[in-house]
A and B are shown apart, each in its own frame.
Chain A
Amino acid sequence: MIQYLQNNGPVIQAALSQHVYLALVPVLLGIVVSLPIGYLAVRFNFLYHPLLNLSGILYAVPSLALIVLVPSVLGIRILDPLNIIVALTVYTVALLVRVVADGLKSVDPLVAEAASAMGYRRLRRLVSVELPIALPVMLAGLRVATVANVSLVSVGALIGVGGLGTLFTRGQQLNYAPPIIVGIVLSVVLAAILDGIIVLIQRRTTPWVRAAGRIAS
């Protein structure tokens, strides 16, 4: 194992940086795309169920299939990492739309009314009142989506673009455990770090949650 680590530093490093890139970009894109969609689902009630059902269906499609089919649908070159990014963005959006919608729905209508009464127009109310209240729920969903993404990127190895997943396929082809173990450990650590970052963001942007917790306990 030590020998494997000593000899394969660059390979592992390249795999890791590709993995980080492929995991993060879909999350950021997913946030950008799911916020408006989630908002629409709540604003226009007739959209709520169709959008959420569509999300559920997309989430049920196995990741491997989505990664492979994206090039055919979008006409991208087969090895382009964009395939993984688009596929994972679809997953992230599918997951986050529900979270955003439910988060916004959980805002007490009385609070929203109070804001309107104070003179907040719709957009300002959304940004200053509703989103912040929905933030805890949305950030919790974001944690789930981010961690899931880190795990899903490795599936791309089956078509040659997989970040740490290439360590898995290499280990399988050689019947050799060390690269696989290294890949799993790095993947879990990466997920933990990203999760921790979101928790930190959560604490900074929603300080009232902890305060409420302290008061309640």
Chain B
Amino acid sequence: MNDGLLSYLLDGSNWQFGATGSIPSLILTHLWYTIQAVVVAAAIALPLGLYIGHTGKLSFIAINAANAGRSLPTLGLIILLVVLMGRGFLPVLIALVILAIPPILTTTYAGIRAVDPAAIDAAKGMGMRPMQVLFKLEVPMALPLISSGLRNALLQVIATSTVAAYVGIGGLGRLLVDGIALNAYERVVAGAVVVAALAILVDLIAAVVQRSVISPGLTGRRVTRRPTKTVPAPSTSPAPTGQPGPGTRTKAPTS
């Protein structure tokens, strides 16, 4: 029975690039929809999250967005928008964006709020203006949480956009919906395996990107470029009494 169930997945003719309805073309369509949805959602949620996190106003929205968003039934939202707006990808895109915004918004807000106030103080003490504090300090320090929110949104969209096939949208959901309609479970299995594999793959890539983008100071990653021996700090003013300047502190690597 298992051979039967895996037959669609393992059938070579379903994997030809370029053929309509082939698994690779469905994967590409699926990814394209996902990217559009996450990019639009990020374009809305990131600035909003940064603003709310930085100023502290309207925090109620950001804190509860994730929970509220999670409770929205994807299928219902997609169908509602299609009924109201007609066929096509636009209503589905809007629905997916609505679903992707909450995780990004909440984690961006949380990330900004979690920045060590002492560091913010130090930055202000160094003369940074608010915008500089935001972008040069808060954002980089909040990156771990922000990027985890983005990863979360990506995964969510990849998995839940499969139901959109019910209203005629392409992508890997087609394998599921058509498989159900045709009572052809091999297709459903193929769809399930490919979506899961795609989600995991995308998540792994995102993890790699995340690690390379986030400052090593936060992740604790050793950066071997920096020498680990003592480096005298440059003295900013001549020592008036000939004593050594404020410089001979050991500069330990931040690991």
Direct A–B contact in complex, judged by CB atoms less than 8 Å apart: yes
Measured CB to CB, the residues of A under 8 A from B are 56-57, 60-66, 68-69, 72, 143-144, 147-148, 150-151, 154-155, 157-159, 164-165, 167-169, 171-172, 175-177, 180-181, 183-184, 187-188, 191-192, 195
B77 in the interface (beta carbon within 8 A): yes
Chain A residues whose CB sits within 8 angstroms of the CB of B74 once the complex forms: 151, 155
With known contacts A66-B192, A165-B75, A187-B76, A72–B185 Cβ distance under 8 A: yes
Contact A172 B79 (CB under 8 A): yes
CB distance from A174 to the nearest CB of B (A): 9
Chain B residues whose CB sits within 8 angstroms of the CB of A181 once the complex forms: 80
Looking at chain A's contact residues, the main secondary structure is helix
Q: What size tier do the contact residues of chain B reach?
A: 35 or more
Which residue of B79, B191, B203 contacts A62 across the interface (Cβ within 8 Å)?
B191
B82 in the interface (beta carbon within 8 A): yes
Interface string of B53-96 (1 = CB under 8 A from A): 00000000000000110111111110110111000000000000
Contact B199 A60 (CB under 8 A): yes
With known contacts A63-B159, A172-B79, A69–B180 Cβ distance under 8 A: no
B162 in the interface (beta carbon within 8 A): yes
Contact A176 B163 (CB under 8 A): no
Chain A residues whose CB sits within 8 angstroms of the CB of B179 once the complex forms: 68
Measured CB to CB, the residues of B under 8 A from A are 1, 5, 67-68, 70-77, 79-80, 82-84, 155, 158-160, 162-163, 166-167, 173, 176-177, 179-180, 185, 188-189, 191-192, 195-196, 199-200, 203
A191 to B79, CA, bound (A): 20
Looking at chain B's contact residues, the main secondary structure is helix
Residue in chain B with minimal CB distance to A78: B183
Chain B residues whose CB sits within 8 angstroms of the CB of A60 once the complex forms: 155, 158-159, 195-196, 199-200, 203
Contact A158 B163 (CB under 8 A): yes
Which residue of A151, A164, A176, A195 contacts B72 across the interface (Cβ within 8 Å)?
A151
A-B contact pairs, 22 of them (CB 8 A): A60-B200, A62-B160, A62-B191, A63-B160, A64-B163, A65-B191, A72-B5, A147-B71, A155-B163, A158-B75, A165-B76, A168-B79, A172-B79, A172-B83, A175-B83, A177-B80, A177-B84, A180-B76, A180-B79, A184-B73, A188-B68, A195-B71
